Chains A and B, each alone.
Chain A
Amino acid sequence: MKEEEASLVAILLYDIGHQPFSHALEHSIVKGVHHEELSLRFMEAINKEMDGRLDLAIAVFTNRYPRKFMNQLVSSQLDMDRLDYLKRDSFYTGVAEGNINAERLISMLTVKNDTLLLEEKGIYSAEKFIVARRMMYWMVYLHKTSVAAEEILIKILERAKFLLKEGKVLTANPSLIYFLENEPETVATKKFPYRNIFRFG
Chain B
Amino acid sequence: MREVAVISFAQLPIVRREDERDDIEMVLPVVTEALRASGLEKRQVGFTVSGSSDFLTGRPFSFVMALDAVGAWPPIEESHVEMDGAWALYEAWVRLQHGDIDAALVYCFGKSSAGDLRDVLVMQLDPYCTAPLWPDSVSLAALQARALLDTGRATERDLAAIVSARRSAAKKNPYAQLKGDYGVDALLEAPRFVAPLRKHDCPPISDGAAAMVLATGDLARKVCSRPAFIRGIDHRIEPHALGSRDLTRSSSTSLAAEKAGALSGTFDCAEIHAPFSHQELILQEALKLTNGTEVNLSGGALCGNPMMVAGLTRIGEAALRIHRGEAKRALAHATSGPCLQQNLVCVLEAG
Q: Do A and B bind each other?
A: no
A residues touching B (Cβ–Cβ < 8 Å)? none
B residues touching A (Cβ–Cβ < 8 Å)? none
